[in-house]
Amino acid sequence: MIDTKTCEWLMDNADAPIRYRVARELLNDDKLAKSIENELLDNSTVKLWLKKLKPENPPQNKNMIHGAPDYYLENAMFKIVQFGLHAELPPVADAVKYYMDIIKNTPLKKPCRKYNFYINQDLTLLSNMLTIGEVKDSKVLEFMLGSLNELYEFASKGNCDIYLSPEERGKLKSVPPNYIGIKHFTKPKLFDEHGICWPLVYDIFGLTKLYGAHSPETDKKIDAVIDFISNDDFHNTIPDGYGVLTTTGKTKYYSHGWDPKYPGWFNIADYFENASNNSSYSPRQPLYVPKLLFFAMYIVKYPIALKTKWFSDLLCCLEKYKTENGTYIFPKQWLTEKTGYAVLGSHMSFGESRRKKNWQEIESTFYMQLLNRRSFS
């Protein structure tokens, strides 16, 4: 539930990115948001990330969609969205033109998720990133809805049995040395028939923008996908990163990663405690609170997630950081900002100037408002 008093405090104390988001997303005051728009776009940090979002000509790398550098689409898009920006703002529309051209020049086949591995991965990430950025495009929507149909078909069966048995693994040929000893190889027949039909974390994040915005039938399908990942069976069966994807007869192996498991699903309090005791605190570690918080920002858009023990335990853990004034102050390392994958929690700053004494309190308090808003924006 939105705390109006806290929103007023944020409007009095925060920089343009958080104030814009409070006005637009929490208070639903479009007129107030519009009055902050110029200040938002003139913010030096926002300008920097808009520049990173827009590829150079020629682009810095051949594939600008998936990767760890800041200027890759997945990191730059998540970052500007964190600042409140969206494709209705001209600078954002201009920055994503490069990626829109990729979509326009790529024929969409059915089923959507049955391309070869790398094409599938790029199109899945691309469509979800553009959707997260609120790009309104018929082709992007067509891919998202087609992809959702395939995710729904898989998820509605409720079957996590996607891996080869030990005996079947033993018959695999030409396994690369770095994959020898790995237990989880997906069934080649499953991929050959359906492609990547299981949900990736990017799907979970991208579908937040479709939920509540189209039709009850669309919401029903999304609910089925979220229900599929919101249980013990999924978390007991699926390893970190999904394991290794295999294909039939071509002896090709791919580490496809990016599973959508809830960090700390079985015991979120232990997750916080063990992560805090980890001497090498970084996004590459299995226990990393910023990764958990990043995931939580998106998963709370779904009613099913709000009903989990995981979510109620999360709020209990975070309430420990509440001040006497009703604001929150998280540890600084939770609001980290470093080069790396956004989905791993590398970019948790909301753009508040680090020169301000209360930046930590502002960002922590805003984060708690996002968790508690119970809305589908």
Which among 319, 304, 306 has a CA at the least distance from the CA of 368?
A: 319
Q: What is the pLDDT of residue 283?
A: 76
Q: What is the pLDDT of residue 377?
A: 41
Q: Which of 90-99, 148-157, 183-192, 311-320 has the weakest average pLDDT?
A: 183-192
Q: Chain-wide mean pLDDT for the chain? A: 92
Which among 98, 343, 89, 103 has a CA at the least distance from the CA of 206?
A: 343
Helix axes 73-82, 117-132, angle to 10 degrees: 20
- Asked if 206 and 134 count as a contact pair (C-beta separation under 8 A), the reply is no
Report the share of the chain in percent with pLDDT over 70. Answer: 97
Q: What is the pLDDT of residue 116?
A: 66
Helices (H), the chain: 4-13, 16-21, 30-42, 44-53, 73-82, 90-95, 97-104, 117-132, 138-155, 166-170, 188-194, 201-206, 216-229, 232-237, 268-276, 289-299, 303-306, 309-319, 359-372
Please give the full DSSP string across 1-17, using - where no structure is assigned: ---HHHHHHHHHH--HH
What distance in Å separates the CA atoms of residue 205 and residue 189, rounded to the nearest whole number?
28
pLDDT in tens, 23-77: 999 999 999 999 999 999 999 999 999 999 999 988 888 889 999 999 999 999 9
Three-class secondary structure of residue 110 per DSSP:
coil
Report the share of the chain in percent with pLDDT over 90. Answer: 76
Averaged pLDDT, 194-206:
94
Question: What pLDDT band is residue 289 in, cutting at 50, 70 and 90?
Answer: very high
Helix axes 30-42, 44-53, angle to 10 degrees: 80
Per-residue pLDDT at 297 exceeds 90:
yes
Q: Which of 179-183, 296-300, 310-314 has the weakest average pLDDT?
A: 179-183
Per-residue pLDDT at 375 exceeds 60:
no
Averaged pLDDT, 202-228:
96
Residue 306 CB contacts under 8 Å (≥ 6 apart), including other chains: 300, 374
Global pTM reads 0.94
Averaged pLDDT, 173-186:
90
Per-residue pLDDT at 174 exceeds 50:
yes
Per-residue pLDDT at 144 exceeds 80:
yes
